[in-house]
Amino acid sequence: MSREDQLRIAVFGAHPADCVWNSAGTIAVHARNKDRVLVVPVTYGARHCNPFLAPTKEEGYRPLEEVKTRKLDEIRKACKILGADLLQLDFKDQIFVGNNEEIQKITDIIRDFRPDIVITHHPVDTAFSDQPDHATTGTAVMRAVKYANEWGADSTKPGWHVNTVLLWPARHNTAMYRVTPYITPANYYVEITEVIDQKRQALRCLEGSMLATEEAADAIINAMSITVGGAAGVPHAEEYVYTAPFVVKRLSRRESGPHRNMLLPQGWTLEEYERLFPLDR
């Protein structure tokens, strides 16, 4: 069933946890609004930072397939909590490079799902430091977004133009992540205060990404509340880089575009606000 105003949002993460960590709240907000959200982790994140993979004295190394089964189970549970559909891909984390075949696969997903909005990593995210999968995913998805609407694309599916791409900012310039040469400031925030418990519950599904304990999940929520919520001026938010520049014929009190959905000052209704500050002034 689809409504005229129903949005379709595709979230492409390098690893399952990226989709939850960065966008669980945004996903939950839109699922509540009966929009369709498709979560697409392009790898299982089975090799990177994974306690399941550590060898035990009794059994030695765990088989990768067993790790993947557990991680699939986790992200399934998280998506259920958030109200999203899941499409788990099987590119090889730490190894995949965003080759033709991988870009074609993502292109076909975009052509099939026909998202209005695509969310993914910034192509420069930690590109030269801790986690190259993020940058590889961001680049591959950006190329697939373009490719999905090209005549020459090697696909029998009809083309699709993605209206909006939102990127997770590259902000890991901390000692923990060593050095990334590019920091991309966020310029677009989604308030997620009302769904923060859903985000907490979803994070707690992710044992294989070491986010499942109460302390780990709360530490993320609290840190993001201070940094991201603080920047947005609300208790809890998620942050993005909006990729299209604004073009206006003349300056106005309030630009059209994403600011149309800005948080209103306390006690205001949108109607009251628009009466005083009409969009087209």
Residues that bind Zn ion (CB under 5 A): 14-15, 18
Q: What is the largest CA-CA distance in the chain?
A: 71
Nearest by Cα to 207 from 85, 82, 69, 83: 69
Q: Which is nearer to Zn ion, 35 or 50 (CB)?
A: 50
**Nearest approach, Cβ of residue 43 and Zn ion (Å):** 9
**Nearest approach, Cβ of residue 47 and Zn ion (Å):** 11
**Nearest approach, Cβ of residue 240 and Zn ion (Å):** 16
Determine contact, residues 90/43, Cβ cutoff 8 Å.
Answer: yes
| CA separation, residue 223 to residues 1, 28, 155 (Å) | 38, 20, 43
**Nearest approach, Cβ of residue 251 and Zn ion (Å):** 40
Nearest by Cα to 80 from 39, 113, 115: 39
The residue whose Cβ lies closest to Zn ion is 15
Q: Which is nearer to Zn ion, 112 or 130 (CB)?
A: 130
**Nearest approach, Cβ of residue 14 and Zn ion (Å):** 5
Tokens of residue 124, six digits: 């420069």
Tokens of residue 212, six digits: 């499942």
For residue 218, give the 3-state DSSP assignment: helix
For residue 60, give the 3-state DSSP assignment: strand
Q: Which is nearer to Zn ion, 14 or 29 (CB)?
A: 14
**Nearest approach, Cβ of residue 70 and Zn ion (Å):** 17
d(CA 115, CA 37): 9
Q: Which is nearer to Zn ion, 15 or 36 (CB)?
A: 15
Question: Euclidean distance between the first and final Cα of the chain, in Å?
Answer: 38
Q: Which is nearer to Zn ion, 20 or 148 (CB)?
A: 20
Q: Which is nearer to Zn ion, 14 or 42 (CB)?
A: 14
